[in-house]
A and B are shown apart, each in its own frame.
Chain A
Amino acid sequence: MIEYALQFGLAAASLALLLNLWRLLRGPALMDRVLAVDTMVINIIALIILFGIQQRSTIFFEAALLFAMFGFISTVAYCRFILRGDVIE
């Protein structure tokens, strides 16, 4: 039963990634693209976690945690660059 749920979850996360990619390529405003990348990072984290369940391995959590940190920091750095013209003043 978990296998079927995992297939659904992996398909949903992948489809969500494709929709985010569409918004990333299309996005009229600059911040749309930043938001798309931020959402893609969260979807990739979900994909990594579901893949870890499928492989029955706990080795992927560090990768997910690193993705979470880098996604947040890159979003905030880009927004600060747009707001202030500099990342660290």
Chain B
Amino acid sequence: MTFVLELLVSLLIVAGGAFLLVGSIGMVKLPDLLTRLHAPTKATTLGVGGALTASMVFFAGLEGTLSIHEVLITAFLFMTAPISAHFIAKAHLHEHTELRDGLPPTGRPYGWSTFDAAPAAGEADGEDDRRGAHD
């Protein structure tokens, strides 16, 4: 049983380290920021998740001290990685407005919500109703 747990911990550590390395190599090798954003947000988050799972299995199975901290850190990282990636992409798009011409058409009457304000057409009725109620 101890051997199986040690094997599991070792495999998780090696997989986590490999994913960390892949994420950082991707960040160095990929051509521009919007493609470069993919490597750290996915591979690196998965790598640190592997390391945290290895730590959880190690302390719960081999040391006998169950700890919940890793779940907290993993949940926090997995929740915050998409948010920070979204913010970075948005800031980059607003910093380089020439990228706006390369965006694909939305197929709707209004443009990308990053650049154009949302249309008030759909909400106009509700707004009128509310205004009528207040008057």
Contacts and interface: CB of A to CB of B under 8 A. Distances in A.
A34 B13 contact: no
Contacts of A43: 20, 24, 44, 48
B28 interface: yes
A12 B88 contact: no
B10 A1 contact: yes
Chain B interface category by residue count: 35 or more
A4 B72 CA distance: 27
Nearest to A67: B73
B131 interface: no
Residues of A in contact with B, size category: 35 or more
Nearest to B63: A56
B100 interface: no
Contact of A68 (B14, B24, B65, B76): B76
B87 A2 contact: no
A38 B70 contact: no
A69 B24 contact: no
A86 interface: no
Contacts of A4: 10
A59 B67 CA distance: 11
B17 interface: yes
Given A53-B58, A82-B91, A12 B96 contact: no
Interface of B: 6-7, 9-11, 13-14, 16-18, 20-21, 23-25, 27-28, 32-33, 36-37, 40, 44-45, 47-48, 51-52, 54-55, 58-59, 63, 65, 67, 69-70, 72-73, 76-77, 80-81, 83-84, 87-88, 90-92, 94-96
